[in-house]
A = this chain, B = another copy of it.
Amino acid sequence: MPELSERVKSTFASPFRKFLPLAQEAKARGTKVIHLNIGQPDFLMPKGSLDGIAEDYLKFIPYGDAEGQMPLRKSWCEYYKKFGVSLSAEELMITSGASEAIYFTLMSIADPGDEIIVPEPFYANYNGFCQMAGVEIVSLFSSIEDGFPIPDIEAFEKAISPRTKAILLSNPNNPSGKVYSLDMLNSLADLVKRHNLFLLVDEAYSEFVYEGFEFNSALTLTGLEHNVVVIDSISKRFNACGVRVGAISSRNTDLLHHVARYARLRLSPPMLGQTFATHALKLPDEYHVHLREDFAERRATILRRLDQLENVLYHAPEGAFYLFVKLPIDDSDKFCAWLLTDFSFQGKTVMLSPGTGFYATPGKGKDEVRIAYILEKDALDEAMDCLANALTTYPGLRLNPSYSLV
């Protein structure tokens, strides 16, 4: 048998999906698996947003522009005005999901061996995209015990080397739920300018910020026209994760022209999803007002249930819809697998994402899991019943007296 490549053999395994075969086996045994492992909410997509498809594609479905269809680019820029962002369609290009946006951006700003600074914990698949691109992640650790503070500027400064090309953040942060303050963004702005770096900000969750917190897009920072690149996605915004439509925005149009070279190789982003996105972005804001209210309720449900558990530690999310939780367990990979292979409570179990994948520092996240609170209240309650029971029966329980709620 011909040998596979070394790189594929060592490719990062996505923590959201690596245990899916175990989940399928559990379902085959008759266990109901409640999926809190992936950010796929069960809310309705906006009404009427699929209507355009039959109108747009009467005859055939052609290749589109490599950078995305102009009507979509324009409607996305129009939509951004609600965040105080003024952008022209030439400053925004469409990708096959935020995943492709991140990968193409990495390929365009960094060569193999170059470094990207990323505060930990971070969206796990950054690990995989950096690995594919041969780019090193230099991570800045922040602890759940301290409530995931954003590392201070000195820590970023210290992490910069001659091979550093960018700082990469998600704001609001997946998985920590932190929202970057304007002050913090301004300090980072100053830093990237002084060191001539890119500032990549993944803003896929910008609609989801809870009371008392405020989202500021990196595209509103002034004097950073050459440095700021914003990654975005239709997925979470409109409960349409499967359309695979994302975007890269930057006032550095030279960068976008270069990214377009990769885009041209794969010809065009998916057209049907682009039609959906064009329509969805034009709908009134009420849709998101309701989504935010519903997420606030789900967040309250899950926090209330976590507060009833002992030896569990979390920081209440300020944005997005994830909770990173420290549990009294030996190993989150083992625990998440065990939930699917050996555990059930009243015929049900819960699928979670193990915490290790969200760190680059080895050993970190070993007693942490990510919970996506993306289902309606009853399902969340059932899932938390399972978790509560699992935390009394899991053979690898490890009590740590230092645990307390923050």
Question: Is residue A226 within 8 Å, beta carbon to beta carbon, of the partner chain?
Answer: yes
A 213-256 contacts with B by CB, 8 A: 226-227, 235, 239-244, 252, 254-255
Contact of A2 among B13, B125, B227 (CB under 8 A): B227
Interface contact A5-B276, CB-CB below 8 Å: no
The chain B residue with its CB closest to the CB of A275 is B272
Contacts of A41 in B (CB 8 A): 60
Question: Is residue A38 within 8 Å, beta carbon to beta carbon, of the partner chain?
Answer: yes
Residues of A that sit less than 8 Å from B by CB: 1-9, 11-14, 16-18, 38, 40-45, 50, 53-54, 57, 59-64, 66, 96-97, 99-100, 103, 107-112, 114, 125, 128-129, 132, 134, 165-166, 192, 196-198, 226-227, 235, 239-244, 252, 254-255, 258-259, 261-262, 264-273, 276
Tell me whether A165 and B255 are in contact in the complex, defined as CB-CB below 8 angstroms, given that A261-B13, A264-B13, A265-B125 are known contacts. no
Interface contact A272-B265, CB-CB below 8 Å: no
Shortest CB-to-CB span from A225 to chain B, Å, is 9
The chain B residue with its CB closest to the CB of A265 is B128
Number of chain copies forming the complex: 2
Contacts of A12 in B (CB 8 A): 261, 265
Shortest CB-to-CB span from A151 to chain B, Å, is 21
Contact of A276 among B111, B266, B269, B272 (CB under 8 A): B272
Contacts of A261 in B (CB 8 A): 8, 11-14, 128
Contacts of A192 in B (CB 8 A): 2
Chain A interface main SS type: loop
Tell me whether A64 and B100 are in contact in the complex, defined as CB-CB below 8 angstroms, given that A132-B107, A265-B12 are known contacts. no
Contacts of A59 in B (CB 8 A): 42, 44-45
Interface contact A262-B62, CB-CB below 8 Å: no
Shortest CB-to-CB span from A117 to chain B, Å, is 13
Bound: A129/B54 CA distance, A: 33
Q: Which of A1, A2, A41 has the most CB of B within 10 A?
A: A2
Interface contact B2-A61, CB-CB below 8 Å: no
Tell me whether A1 and B226 are in contact in the complex, defined as CB-CB below 8 angstroms, given that A97-B266, A132-B107 are known contacts. yes
Q: List 25 A-B contacts (CB under 8 A).
A: A1-B252, A2-B192, A2-B196, A2-B197, A3-B165, A3-B196, A4-B108, A4-B258, A8-B258, A8-B261, A11-B261, A40-B62, A45-B60, A50-B54, A62-B241, A96-B270, A99-B266, A107-B132, A128-B265, A242-B271, A243-B272, A244-B244, A244-B269, A270-B270, A272-B276
Taking A5-B111, A40-B62 as known contacts, 12 extra A-B pairs with beta carbons closer than 8 A to each other, sorted by chain A number, are A2-B196, A8-B107, A8-B108, A8-B109, A8-B258, A8-B261, A13-B264, A45-B59, A64-B242, A128-B262, A132-B262, A132-B265
Contacts of A60 in B (CB 8 A): 41-45, 239-240
Interface contact B2-A165, CB-CB below 8 Å: yes
The chain B residue with its CB closest to the CB of A197 is B2
Bound: A227/B243 CA distance, A: 33
Bound: A44/B57 CA distance, A: 10
Interface contact B63-A38, CB-CB below 8 Å: yes
